[in-house]
Structure 1
Amino acid sequence: MDNTLWALGRVSGIVSLILFTGTVVLGILTRSGRPLLSIPRYSLTLIHRNFALLATIFLALHVGTLVLDSFAKLTVADVVVPFLGSYRPFWQGLGTVAFDLVVAVVVTSLLRRRIGVRAFRAVHWFTYAMWPIALAHALGNGTDGTSKFFLMLAICSLISVGAALVWRFSTNFLETAKTRQEELQ
């Protein structure tokens, strides 16, 4: 049983990272107000939310299986309080920080109507910190962190998010009514 939990913990961490990469990229695309290929803007928002939900589910699976795994020897405190772990405490602590940031974003997303859009967006900006912290955790603490497959995955993820961020901070990022009119002509 230990090997199964360990393998499930590793795979769910990798899948979670892939989905969080997609979530960050889709979040940036959604914010631009532009459709993607033939996908309307409102559908991008739904796809972004579904990616985020799936990423969070796989993150919970990642953490849960490693807490239950006797080899990993994670405690609940290791999962919630950063840098307490006995195995590579710095790298594990980064994972804990990323997990705590995800929890904050999820809670504010669920309470969005009660706390207001302004507070929601302020906390939502933490995803820009969460994603690279999670990637660093995976590279430094993950069993597969130095494998060729994972390094290629990390590079592709960095390129994807990096390209989206470059576009995010460009002058052509936001679609306005004027931009839509120019594109139609």
Structure 2
Amino acid sequence: MTGAALWYLNRATGMVALVLMTLTIVLGTTVRRHGRLPGLPRFGVVHMHRNVALLSALLVAGHVVTAVVDSYVDIGATAAVLPFTAGYRPLAVGLGALAVDLALLVLVTSLLRDRLPRRLWAPVHLTSYALWPLAAVHGLTAASDLGGGWLLLLVLACAAATAWASLAALATRRAARPPSERARDAMAESVAAFAAGRPAGRYRNG
């Protein structure tokens, strides 16, 4: 395979992987808030989330392999997983290596989910929220040679989708809390507002 072909394949796998990571987060938050997609039962959303995540991991693997094989840049196999050791754009590649390490951690623990206690699996799985921004910044800094603003637009669109999904999940989780917890938080807000000399809760103006 020629250097130009490797260059295009590396960029393509990276960008598609970012889109699939975004879709993985959107589907994951849909599962967490017990949501559904049109025409799919809830277990269908769960399976889609897992399959998209696996496909994303495969594309990340392809992205890493093409970066290492491409002789145009100095990125060895070690630098692909050991952050900030690459001779080519060490910061950008280092962020990508961190993303790869997190992706491996999430993938392995997900495959072993049935054998791991939830108190161990769940926090590790939540690191996927850190994986996304690492991958996005890596893409913007390492692929700056693509030129134009379309890559930035793609990242912004993915960021908007990720933010919307995350906020929807947080709102659902907040609404699902026991009434006693919501009452305690409302009382704390009222006390804080009184101390600050302003109205709180539903009595707030504007």
The answer for unaligned runs of 5 or more in structure 2 is 178-206
Comparing 49-58 and 107-116, the one that deviates more: 107-116
Secondary structure in 1 aligned to 2:75? Answer: coil
In the TM superposition, structure 1's runs of 4+ consecutive aligned residues that sit over 6 Å from their partners are 172-176
Question: Once the 2 structures are TM-superposed, how far is the Cα of residue 16 of structure 1 from its aligned partner?
Answer: 0.5
Comparing 138-147 and 100-109, the one that deviates more: 138-147
Equivalents in 1 of 2:21, 2:37: separation in Å?
19
Q: State the partner residue of 1:107.
A: 108
Task: Decide whether the 8 Å contact of 1:9 with 1:61 is kept in 2.
Answer: yes
Report the CA distance shift for 1:117/1:172 in structure 2 as closer, same or farther (over 3 A): closer
The answer for unaligned runs of 5 or more in structure 1 is 177-185
Counting matched residue pairs gives: 176
Which one has a bigger Cα radius of gyration? 2
Superimposed CA distance per residue, residues 59-83 of structure 1 (whole angstroms, 9 cap, x where no aligned partner): 0000001111111221011111101
Q: State the partner residue of 1:119.
A: 120
Equivalents in 1 of 2:44, 2:119: separation in Å?
23
Question: Once the 2 structures are TM-superposed, how far is the Cα of residue 108 of structure 1 from its aligned partner?
Answer: 0.6
Q: State the partner residue of 2:135.
A: 134
Task: Decide whether the 8 Å contact of 2:75 with 2:88 is kept in 1.
Answer: no
Equivalents in 2 of 1:79, 1:144: separation in Å?
20
Letter in 1 for 2:39: S
Q: State the partner residue of 2:195.
A: none
Report the CA distance shift for 1:66/1:39 in structure 2 as closer, same or farther (over 3 A): same
1 or 2 for the larger relative contact order (CA 8 Å, sep ≥6)?
1
Q: CA RMSD in A?
A: 1.8
Question: Once the 2 structures are TM-superposed, how far is the Cα of residue 57 of structure 1 from its aligned partner?
Answer: 0.6
Equivalents in 2 of 1:144, 1:20: separation in Å?
23
Question: Once the 2 structures are TM-superposed, how far is the Cα of residue 35 of structure 1 from its aligned partner?
Answer: 1.5
Q: How does 1:1-185 map to 2 (within 5 A)?
A: 1-143=2-144, 147-171=148-172
Task: Decide whether the 8 Å contact of 1:95 with 1:133 is kept in 2.
Answer: yes
Superimposed CA distance per residue, residues 22-64 of structure 1 (whole angstroms, 9 cap, x where no aligned partner): 0011111111112123321110000101110110010000000
* Aligned sequence identity (%): 37
Question: Once the 2 structures are TM-superposed, how far is the Cα of residue 147 of structure 1 from its aligned partner?
Answer: 2.7
